[in-house]
Amino acid sequence: MEQTFIMVKPDGVKRQLIGEVIKQYEQKGLQLKAAKLMVISEELAKQHYAEHEGKAFYAKLITFITSGPVFAMIWQGENAVAVGRKLNGKTNHLEADLASIRGRFATDTSLNVVHGSDSLESAAREIGLFFNKTEQIG
């Protein structure tokens, strides 16, 4: 069983979409293993988005992700990373499948409601960052 990291971003929390995101994952058969509502510190945001440091959008990304609470989650199931990517939809909401979370709810490429791990390696790193765990939960 794979685990993946999924986060409802500040825009999704503000728009009260946490329940809708959880519903999509549950209906796809994944199991919620851990979750917490939190405000991301600037330090954690920089660690999370380290691969984007130096890019033109980096400062805006850090400002946005620390602008309000997020809902961080660990989901588990068969092909959890790939399933999460499909459920979330493409980053650019205009290219996202209309049935995906971003296709239905995103209002901008930056305000795209959710983040999901893009690989098993990223999932392990992100779970470790947000849940202070290096091993799988559950």
6 vs 115: CA distance, rounded Å? 6
- Known catalytic residue at 115: yes
Q: Residue 96: its pLDDT value, please?
A: 95
Q: What are 96-133's pLDDT values in tens digits?
A: 999 999 999 999 888 899 999 999 999 999 999 999 86
| Six token digits for residue 91 | 């980053």
Q: Residue 136: its pLDDT value, please?
A: 47
| Six token digits for residue 43 | 């330090």
Domain edges within the chain: 2-74+98-131
Q: What are 18-57's pLDDT values in tens digits?
A: 999 999 999 999 999 999 999 999 999 999 999 999 999 9
- Catalytic site residue from 48, 52, 93, 115: 115
Q: Residue 1: its pLDDT value, please?
A: 93
Q: What are phi and psi of 47, to 5 degrees?
A: -65, -45
63 vs 128: CA distance, rounded Å? 22
Q: Is 25 exposed, middle or buried (0-12, 13-18, 19+ CB in 10 A)?
A: buried
Q: What are 2-23's pLDDT values in tens digits?
A: 999 999 999 999 999 999 999 9
| Six token digits for residue 128 | 């470790």
Entry pTM = 0.93
Q: 2-74+98-131 domain in CATH 3.40.50.150?
A: no
- Three-state SS for 117? coil
